[in-house]
Amino acid sequence: MTVASDFVVVSNRLPVDRTDDENEPWRRSPGGLVTAVDPVMRRNNGAWIGWPGQPGVELDPFEFDGLQLVPVTLTADDVQLYYEGFSNDTIWPLYHDVIAAPTYHRAWWDAYVKVNRRFAEAASAHAADGATVWVHDYQLQLVPKMLRELRPDLTIGYFHHIPFPAYGLYAQLPWRRQVLEGLLGADVIGFQRVADAGNFARAVRRQLGFDTKAGAISVPTADGGVRKAVARAYPISIDAAEYEELANRPDIQARAAEIRSSLGNPKVILLGVDRLDYTKGIRHRLKAYGELLADGRLSVHDVTLVQVASPSRERVQTYMELRDEIELTVGRINGDADELGYTAIQYLHNSYPREEMVALFLAADVMLVTALRDGMNLVAKEYVASRVDGGGALVLSEFTGAADELTQAIKVNPHDISGLKDAIMQAIEMPERERERRMRALRRRVRENDVAKWSQRFLADLGQSREERA
């Protein structure tokens, strides 16, 4: 029998991936969320509720590495309609400023409601009396209200990892009121940026007519009263100490030197690391770099761009088309610019372990983060944390949450190709003293605001909300 938990995390995915090894059937997924909440879960008899990642798999709750995991079953239809459909072909493009056109299907919405209810019921069943439940991200926006209706004794938090759009865009959503009401089931609603929290509060005022003031939202209750929900920014971060520890390892430093050597020891290595997604601005980055080569401002004798594009949502048509377009662009630029022994772009459509990524960060002279819209973009912070040598330069899109914090980066509007080209040249030609000064400031910021501070701040506000309700 599963023991009720005092602290419950609810996310679309469990923090583990299945393996083919019978002796070790699960391994921990990459990502900072489990690192942030792990200490809290261990102190509070915590449980993590999520989908195990494969359709149709029914599993009992189990323990992994000291964590109590509660699998939620999704059928193949659920994955197609709730996940690939509503979550990733409706909400994702809408919330990322309609960079791609969102699709609105009532069958997708119905599946989203059904699956959100399944997650809410699982959380209700595994939460102890008066427990704290922390719900994560856009796939589960209806869970807070559903959970409050099932278990009014709970303290409920929700964190939104992606942007929340301006009202003029959000208003397109046919189920705009239901989603807002779903989120307002939480006591604390967290966003990456102040602007996102403001967009949410504006949508609440316009759609529901509730009073919003300084991040506090007055939510009517079923008994005719009013309760307070807090909506504010809690910028997420990384485990900076872990990246520093990896970057100081002699084997990883040796691997960084090996990477440089394998690329022909160019004067400058530019690096892009992204999930293959239309929000990441990979096309804009390639266009700017290709033009710099064509203009003669850069030469393949001196500069190489390494572009890591990890596979993403490969069954979704938009993503299949994006991959084809990126690969055609890389082929064209290499065809135009390559010479024997010199390659303009090393394109890697693959995922790599953290150790290899840190070696790449150490090898790269300039990191290019050119997202068109991003809730945070932790890669920018990972690059900074890895530069224990004090070197490297960061070119960072102003449309990322990271841009609010990493003020010493070279900021760019990735839609401005000329400006992006100039920013790349500024990073390449930056005097060493300025480069080191900027990186010192960036590293101080990432170290001071790590993922542990992020979770502590959010959970402290959640605890205060519980005390105010008591």
DSSP 269-309: EEEEEEES-GGG-HHHHHHHHHHHHHHTSS-TTTEEEEEEE
Q: What helix, strand, coil percent values describe the chain, rounded to 5?
A: 45, 20, 30
Looking at residue 42, what is its pLDDT?
A: 80
Q: What is the pLDDT of residues 416-458, one digit of tens each?
A: 999 999 999 999 999 999 999 999 999 999 999 999 899 999 9
413 pLDDT band, cuts 50/70/90, is very high
459 pLDDT band, cuts 50/70/90, is very high
Arithmetic mean of pLDDT over the chain: 94
Burial of 208 from C-beta contacts in 10 A (0-12 / 13-18 / 19+): middle
Task: Return the amino acid letter for 257.
Answer: A
Q: What is the pLDDT of residues 178-233, one digit of tens each?
A: 999 999 999 999 999 999 999 999 999 999 999 999 889 999 998 889 999 999 99
Average pLDDT in the 119-127 region? 97
Q: What is the pLDDT of residues 266-317, one digit of tens each?
A: 999 999 999 999 999 999 999 999 999 999 999 999 999 999 998 887 777 7
Residue 426 is encoded by which pair of tokens? Answer: 């500024």
CA angle 83, 85, 91 (to 5 degrees): 85
Q: Strands 16-18 and 26-28, how do they pair?
A: antiparallel
- C-alpha dist (Å) from residue 388 to 160, 173, 305, 436: 31, 45, 22, 11
pTM flag (> 0.75):
yes
E-state strands within 14-86: 16-18, 26-28, 47-51, 62-64, 67-71
Task: Return the amino acid letter for 12.
Answer: N
Residue 121 is encoded by which pair of tokens? Answer: 């019921």
Q: CA 247 to CA 358: how far, in whole Å?
A: 6
Q: Considering only residues 352 and 365, tell me which one the structure prediction assigns the higher pLDDT.
A: 365
Q: Which residues does residue 227 pair with via DSSP β-bridges, in sequence order?
A: 219
Q: CA 71 to CA 50: how far, in whole Å?
A: 5
Average pLDDT in the 75-94 region? 96
Backbone angles phi, psi at 151, to 5 degrees: -140, 80
Check pLDDT > 90 for residue 155.
yes
DSSP, collapsed to helix, strand or coil, labels residue 403 as helix
Residues 383, 357 contacting (CB under 8 angstroms): no
Looking at residue 1, what is its pLDDT?
A: 45
393-397 sheet: strands from edge to edge:
345-348, 303-310, 268-275, 366-369, 393-397, 410-412
Looking at residue 183, what is its pLDDT?
A: 98
Q: What is the pLDDT of residues 26-66, one digit of tens each?
A: 888 766 677 778 778 888 779 999 999 899 989 999 998 88
Looking at residue 468, what is its pLDDT?
A: 86
Average pLDDT in the 167-175 region? 97
Length of the chain: 470
Q: Which residues does residue 394 pair with via DSSP β-bridges, in sequence order?
A: 367
25 pLDDT band, cuts 50/70/90, is confident
